[in-house]
Structure 1
Amino acid sequence: MSPELQPPTGRRGFLKGAATALAVPAAATLVGVGALAEPARADDGGLPDYAPIPAASVGPTPNEDGYHVGQIAGNLYWVTDSYYQAMFLTTTRGVVLVDAPPTIGHNLLRAIDDITRANGRPSKVTHLVYSHSHADHIGAAGLFGTDVVRVAHAATAGLLARAADPNRPLPTVTFHDKYQLKVGGETLRLAYHGPNHSPDNIFIHAPEYATLMLVDVLYPGWVPFKNLAVSQDIPAWIKAQSIAMDYPWQTFVGGHLGRLGVRADGALQIRYMDDLDASTRSAIASVDPTPFFAKYGTQGNSWAIFKTFLDAVADTAAAPVAAKYTGVLAAADVFTRDNAWTLLESLRIDAGVLGPFGVHP
């Protein structure tokens, strides 16, 4: 293998190469999405082919070190590696950082240094806000030493105490409903509106800069991650999207992928979820469970009956939604079926939409 074709070595090299690849829309052929069967198989090791990423979904290209740092407004900045995002405020006393994703890792320090050297403000991170407890968003928090004020929801403290992860030090300041963080002439307003993606996920509002950060709820330009972001409370996660839109923001930081959001992105995801909800309810009512009972009932295999029936409902629900949003939202053909399956389960368990398994006259 020639040197220029050698794969990158080490975590940093791997992420640099992967981030660069993600920042460029794939020049692929659109595959059929109507049936939502298994994606077409490519020649490269049997990996599936997916639809190209819409150009509008792509963020800025990372630099040679694998990150992009940009100004949101005034003293508010963001960092991305095309997979994760963090946000920070430079102040007269130091830097307030929101989240510390491990995929960005030491590049957070490099990005902060880039900005503070340019604007002449202190580069030390004095405050670190945790959006929630999940390691993929705060797993690099240990890089910033012990003399940092770490702010989080009270539930985050309990979850981190249970995890006992040295890379996610316990918060030093906690709150229950609202907390106003003022540092060096800058302000962040933190609020808890109940569980959504996780039991402790908070809203981080920078009112002076018309910016809201809410992680794992809205995905600007993309469909939500697999199984509705693996969220622990699906009805509350759906409600959180509307709560976010009630805030007076113009710029949105979602914690994932390579670009910032605008209000049209939030409205588009809500339409996607409305369409998925309507399609899933229709599929629950229309898919006939008889063939699944006929095949597996004689074997006494109850789990096989439910698996095949629920999978058929998810396939039926996802097909028209994936077809509608492919080319509009990135990865509509990748995760819509998984999202339909999770929404189906929430409708059955949380909303009582049981279809043929409900009480009937």
Structure 2
Amino acid sequence: MYRETEFLSGRRRFLKGAAGALAVPAAAALVGPLAVPAHADDSGLPDFAPVPAGSVGPTPNADGYYVGRIEGNLYWVTDSYYQSMFLTTTRGVILVDAPPTIGHNLLRAIKDVTRASGRPSKVTHLVYSHSHADHIGAAGLFGRDVIRIAHAAAAPLLARAADPNRPRPIVTFHDKYTLKFGGETLNLAYHGPNHSPDNIFIYAPEYATLMLVDVLYPGWVPFKGLAVSQDIPDWIKAQHIAMDYPWRTFVGGHLGRLGVRTDGTVQIQYMDDLEASTRSAIDSVDPAPYFTKYGAQGNSWAIFKTFLDEVANTAATPVTAKYTGVLAAADVFTKDNAWALLESLRIDAGILGPFGVRP
């Protein structure tokens, strides 16, 4: 059964740490010591800064999952890598996402909760946040008669994939869809492409909870390459749209804990700092050595690679220093995130640096 005391204790630890997170220096002064790396071992693998205590969620049980109540009849499940959310109703369960790393533990978690509440345990509705296999790759576990709901753009993507583990949605929508069932409500909305062309916002109004996957990462920096997002400008915009919702609790689809509003504010600040640093690095890194060496060899791709890598490294260095100890894995993915943002600034914003129009 879920351990509310442990969850609430972890949440309080985070809130205490998050209150200080906003005290990081402003973008104009990206300074700060790096945290002491974890103790080296004999594996030969790199060492990274310790994960801040406030970034860690509740400990999974012996079967590898944790299930906890968000509020009322709304629950969440995590294996510390991925997350799902579900509503128990008088007529069945509404599940949002089915990550394959959690897999059959979703069924166990739902039974844990419904056995205690006396509500039906059958999953009647399955909402897809988006079409990616790492978030809905266990959808096939719930049978053919479950009502699968997704954005209209997910249907052709899933048809192309022809993946039996990701059955195509039965119900699709374009802008908004209200799911009312068994005395519970979920509001689904599409605000344009971001991480993927079909990624939606899932809001439980009675419980002031928003689920938005692969956009905000409570307590952590975004995954590599700004979450491998297909539309970086709209992915950045989606962070702000999320903050316009009146949520108290956030489910991000990844990692081990829920989010609070401070998490969104800190990530937006991280992204603002990263953009300011990347724009500065485009101007400060001298392209001449790269053009001189690799141009003489006729190797255009080597010019691009070495110059852009150096810009990303230059941009990432002060941001990594500022957020290490504030956001988990700042030293793991900030350079990759700077590289993705750099490419977006070049391609989407026309900030081409030495590859622009020659005088």
Mark yes or no: TM-score above 0.5: yes
Task: Judge conservation of contact 2:38–2:49 (CA < 8 Å) in 1.
Answer: no
Q: Report the AA paired with residue 60 of structure 1.
A: P
In 1, are the aligned partners of 2:38 and 2:50 still within 8 Å (CA)?
no
State TM-score, norm by structure 1. 0.89
> What residue is the counterpart of 1:209 in the other structure?
207
Once the two structures are TM-superposed, the CA of residue 294 in structure 1 deviates from its matched residue by 1.4
Paired amino acid for 1:96 = I
User: Residue type of the partner of 1:339?
Assistant: N
TM-score of the aligned structures, taking structure 2 as reference length: 0.89
2:221/2:329 contact within 8 Å kept = yes
CA contact (8 A) 1:81 1:103 kept: yes
Structure 1 counterpart of 2:334, from 308, 333, 336: 336
Aligned counterparts of 2:73 and 2:50: Cα–Cα separation in 1: 35
Pairwise CA distance, 1:44: 2.9
Cα RMSD of the aligned pairs, angstroms, is 1.6
Partner of 2:53: 55
- In structure 2, do the counterparts of structure 1 residues 306 and 122 end up closer, same or farther at CA, with 3 Å as the change threshold? same
The offset of 1:358, in angstroms, is 1.8
Q: Which runs of 4+ in 1 moved over 6 A?
A: 33-36
What CA distance in whole angstroms lies between the structure 2 residues aligned with 1:35 and 1:219?
Answer: 23
Return the offset for 1:43: 3.9
Match of 1:16 in 2: none
**Residue 133 of structure 1 aligns with which residue?**
131
Q: For the residues of structure 2 that align with 1:40 and 1:103, how far apart are their CA atoms?
A: 27
Q: How does 1:1-361 map to 2 (within 5 A)?
A: 42-359=40-357, 361=359
Alpha-carbon distance in 2 for matches of 1:234, 1:181? 29
Give me the identity figure in percent: 85
Q: Following the alignment from structure 2 to structure 1, what is the Cα–Cα distance between the partners of residues 157 and 72?
A: 34
Return 5+ residue gaps in structure 2 as ranges: 1-30
**1:41 Cα shift?**
10
Distance, in Å, in 2 between the alignment partners of 1:89 and 1:50 is 38
Superposed CA deviations along residues 98-139 of structure 1, whole A, max 9, x for unmatched, are 000000000000000000000000000000000000000000
CA distance in 2, matches of 1:77, 1:122: 14
> How many angstroms does 1:170 deviate by?
0.6
1:244-302 residue CA offsets vs partner (Å, 9 max, x unmatched): 00000000000000000000000000000000000000000111100111111110000
Distance 1:332 1:112, change over 3 A: same
Query: How far did residue 42 of structure 1 move?
Result: 4.3
Q: Is the 8 A contact 1:40 1:48 kept in 2?
A: no
The question of whether the paired residues in 2 share the 8 Å contact of 1:289 and 1:309 is answered with yes
- Which amino acid in structure 2 is aligned with residue 346 of structure 1? S
Per-residue Cα deviation, 1:207-242 (whole angstroms, up to 9, x for no partner):
000000000000000000000000000000000000
SS for the counterpart of 1:53 is: coil
Higher relative contact order (CA 8 A, sep 6+): 2
Q: Which amino acid aligns with 1:359?
A: V
Aligned residue type for 1:183? F
SS at match of 2:153: helix
Instruction: Indicate conservation of the 8 Å contact 1:285/1:356, yes or no.
Output: no
